[in-house]
């Protein structure tokens, strides 16, 4: 039976090292035990004695082994806590999924109701100066700038939750305090997002419904004012579509934004400060900002007939193909199909279709069968269709 060990012989010194392998990974601290001969080090410490790993792109470095999400990169499957996302989509609510991601299991009915209640109590109308901060930004400004400003303002309103401000550790090894902070952060972000949406639309804020049966997504749409004219309540199909959209993006293992969140958390910061760091990273052009870039790319193309010209320009390195390419997946990203299914349901139900969706589908069709992209392992990612998820409704 093979042993989970790596045997390394350092020919500089003749020393042999045994490095344990766990989850097909080795720890960098074990490699640090490999010491260079004195002749290769320098008195000033410019060349350290312990062996180091250099990987500028962090492509082959695992800063943490996730117990939450697993990506099967070869067959294109995504799992939350062992559950394949495709199988829980439409079966579990967003807050039930959040509960599972945070605490390792899906909640009971009473636990789910309690979780919704806490989100409601802490996610009601934000303090006035938080609203004022957001509303002082022009409506046409990028939404990310409103989110950054809103989160900063909310932090100012929650000064007692910032460890450095109060001068003591608030979360270190205190699981109940961390649990409470997670709920508070989710609720705060919901309140900020609804304020931003209402400001951009020029409509008044609507407080969430206190009914414990009303989901996080239901209250999000209620606050957005996306309601039926006859009932003034969100359409259940719309709730289902947004529920699934949120669930698909609930987690994706060690994304760039998650990595930055954890880096900030390692300094013993509060969760909302960590979130502020993460969203700044998430809007980068090769992260969440690619959704905006993909939609603008499709708008420039204009019609399906022009897609070959786009792909030709990409091959000449004159254009970027947004919505394609991923550092992990060796096949189609499974989330792309999930988003496309939602969009087709929206089209069938409402009779409305963004004309640019036909452009996106043609990009998908042609690029996915083009040897140029296939040889390079450039497959579709969710940005190509996720950029339509909200505009479709």
Catalytic residue numbers read 326, 383
- Three-class SS of residue 226? coil
Contact 133, 202 (CB under 8 A): no
- The secondary structure of 3-33 as a DSSP string is -SEEEEEETTTTEEEEEE-BTTB--HHHHTT
- The secondary structure of 134-184 as a DSSP string is HHTS-TTS-HHHHHHHHHHHHHHHTGGG-HHHHTS-SSTT-HHHHHHHHHH
Say how many CA atoms lie within 13 Å of 120 toward its Cβ.
18
Closest CA to 247 of 70, 384, 91: 91
Q: Token match 């990203």: residue?
A: 333
| Beta pairing, strands 83-84 & 77-80 | antiparallel
Buried b (16+ CB within 10 A) or exposed e, 132-155: ebbeebeeeeebbebbbbbbebbb
CA gap 70, 329 in Å, rounded? 12
CA-based max dimension of the chain: 82
Q: Which helix (H) or strand (E) holds 346?
A: helix 334-350
Contact 208, 120 (CB under 8 A): yes
Q: Which helix (H) or strand (E) holds 70?
A: strand 69-72
């Amino acid at each position: 039976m093979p042993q989970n060990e790596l045997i390394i012989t350092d020919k500089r010194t003749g020393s042999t090292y045994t490095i344990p392998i766990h989850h097909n990974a080795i720890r960098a601290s074990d490699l640090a035990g490999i010491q260079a001969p004195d002749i290769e080090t320098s008195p000033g410490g410019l060349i350290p004695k312990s062996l180091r790993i250099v990987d500028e792109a962090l492509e082959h470095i695992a800063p943490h082994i996730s117990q939450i999400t697993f990506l099967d990169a070869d067959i294109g499957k995504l799992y939350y806590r062992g559950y394949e996302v495709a199988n829980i989509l439409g079966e579990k609510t967003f807050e039930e999924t959040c509960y599972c991601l945070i605490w390792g299991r899906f909640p009971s009915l009473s636990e789910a109701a309690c979780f919704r209640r806490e989100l409601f109590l802490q996610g009601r109308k934000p303090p006035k100066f938080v609203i004022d901060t957001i509303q002082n930004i022009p409506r046409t400004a990028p939404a990310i700038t409103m989110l950054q400003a809103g989160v900063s303002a909310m932090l100012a309103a929650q000064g007692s939750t910032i460890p450095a401000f109060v001068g003591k550790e608030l979360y270190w090894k205190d699981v109940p305090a961390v649990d409470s902070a997670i709920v508070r952060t989710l609720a705060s972000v919901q309140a900020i997002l609804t304020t931003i949406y209402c400001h951009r639309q020029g409509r008044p804020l609507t407080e969430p419904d206190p009914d414990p049966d009303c989901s996080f997504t239901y209250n999000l749409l209620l606050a957005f004012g996306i309601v039926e004219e006859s009932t003034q309540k969100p359409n259940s199909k719309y709730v289902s579509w947004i529920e699934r959209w949120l669930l698909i993006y609930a987690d994706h293992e060690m994304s760039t934004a998650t990595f930055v969140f954890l880096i900030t958390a390692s300094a013993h910061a509060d969760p909302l400060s960590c979130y502020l760091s993460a969203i700044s990273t998430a809007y980068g052009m090769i992260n969440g900002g690619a959704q905006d870039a993909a939609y603008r790319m499709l708008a420039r193309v204009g019609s399906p007939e022009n897609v070959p010209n786009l792909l030709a320009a990409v091959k000449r390195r004159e254009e970027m193909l947004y919505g394609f390419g991923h550092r992990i997946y060796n096949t189609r990203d499974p989330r792309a199909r999930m988003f496309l299914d939602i969009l087709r349901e929206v089209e069938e139900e409402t009779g409305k279709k963004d004309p640019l969706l036909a452009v996106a589908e043609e990009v998908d069709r042609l690029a996915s069968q083009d040897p140029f992209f296939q040889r390079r392992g450039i497959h579709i990612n969710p940005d190509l269709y996720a950029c339509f998820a909200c505009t479709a409704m």
